[in-house]
């Protein structure tokens, strides 16, 4: 993955944007009860026009290189929504358009997948998320995508919080993460 992202201007721009707008060293208690010494809210960076373009470009390159058969990208609402939309938008400009889909937490209108009319059983997809902690939300998205008949070919995340989630996800599909928590703490 380093040859795809590490030396690119987009990679460094996104890291700078995340450091400036998304990362905060502070004590907090997670919903699981675990304590953490940092907080990262990727949406504060990727919902900007610049962040949207950068994530779309970088994830699009990763999909093209590591999972070229992928035809749609999605993940669990809310963390994955702006990412999936950014990738879909960026892909349109490359003449290899990918559809976006959102995995709902609860059924609405009889469906768990928004954008389902753009999907079909057997379609290869990428599952995305912003911060990978335990991998639980990505695992839920994978289960729902597979229940719809989709083939999960790759998992992409913006930040690995280095709490074991990536190892869990690698058992499901090849997993690529742009940044690690240590990228933020060591600067």
For the stretch 9-53, pLDDT in tens is 999 999 999 999 998 888 877 666 667 788 888 999 999 999 999
State the pLDDT confidence band at 83, using cuts at 50, 70 and 90. Answer: very high
Residue 136 lies in a domain: yes
pLDDT of residue 26: 84
Burial profile 155-164: b = 16 or more Cβ within 10 angstroms, e = fewer: bbbbbbbebe
Residue 151 lies in a domain: yes
pLDDT of residue 31: 62
Find, among 70, 151, 147, 152, the residue nearest to 112 by Cα.
147
Across 3-17, 53-67, 106-120, 150-164, least confident range = 3-17
Percent of the chain with pLDDT over 70: 93
Residue 2 lies in a domain: no
Average pLDDT over residues 95-121: 92
162: pLDDT strictly greater than 70: yes
Question: Using an 8 Å Cβ cutoff, are 145 and 131 in contact?
Answer: no
Residue 180 lies in a domain: yes
The 3-state DSSP composition of the chain as helix, strand, coil percent (nearest 5) reads: 40, 30, 30
What total number of domains does the chain contain? Answer: 1
Query: Residue 123's domain is classified under what CATH number?
Result: 3.40.50.2020
Residue 31 lies in a domain: no
Residue 8 lies in a domain: no
Residue 3 lies in a domain: no
DSSP state of 118: G
| pTM > 0.85: yes or no | yes
Q: Please report, for residues 6, 63, 67, the alpha-carbon distance to residue 153 in angstroms, rounded to integers and kept in the order given.
A: 22, 9, 6
Residue 123 lies in a domain: yes
Any residues with CB less than 8 A from the CB of 20 and at least 6 apart, and which? 45
Q: What range does the domain containing 126 cover?
A: 55-185
Q: Which residue has the tokens 């609405």?
A: 108
The predicted-structure confidence for 124-154, as pLDDT tens digits, reads as follows 999 999 999 889 999 999 999 999 999 999 9
Question: Using an 8 Å Cβ cutoff, are 89 and 57 in contact?
Answer: no
2: pLDDT strictly greater than 70: no
């Amino acid at each position: 993955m380093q040859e795809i992202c590490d030396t690119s201007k987009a990679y460094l721009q996104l890291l700078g944007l995340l450091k400036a707008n998304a990362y905060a060293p502070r004590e907090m208690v997670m919903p699981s009860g675990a304590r953490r010494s940092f907080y990262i809210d990727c949406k504060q960076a990727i919902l900007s026009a610049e962040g949207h373009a950068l994530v779309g470009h970088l994830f699009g390159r990763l999909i093209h290189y590591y999972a070229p058969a992928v035809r749609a990208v999605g993940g669990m609402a809310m963390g994955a929504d702006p990412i999936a939309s950014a990738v879909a938008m960026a892909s349109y400009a490359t003449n290899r358009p990918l559809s976006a889909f959102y995995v709902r937490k609860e059924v609405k209108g009889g469906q768990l997948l928004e954008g389902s009319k753009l999907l079909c059983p057997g379609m290869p997809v990428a599952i995305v998320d912003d911060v990978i902690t335990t991998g639980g939300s990505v695992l839920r998205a994978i289960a729902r995508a597979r229940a719809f008949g989709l083939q999960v070919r790759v998992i992409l995340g913006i930040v690995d919080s280095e709490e074991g989630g990536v190892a869990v996800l690698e058992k499901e599909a090849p997993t690529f993460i742009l940044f690690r928590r240590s990228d933020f703490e060591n600067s």
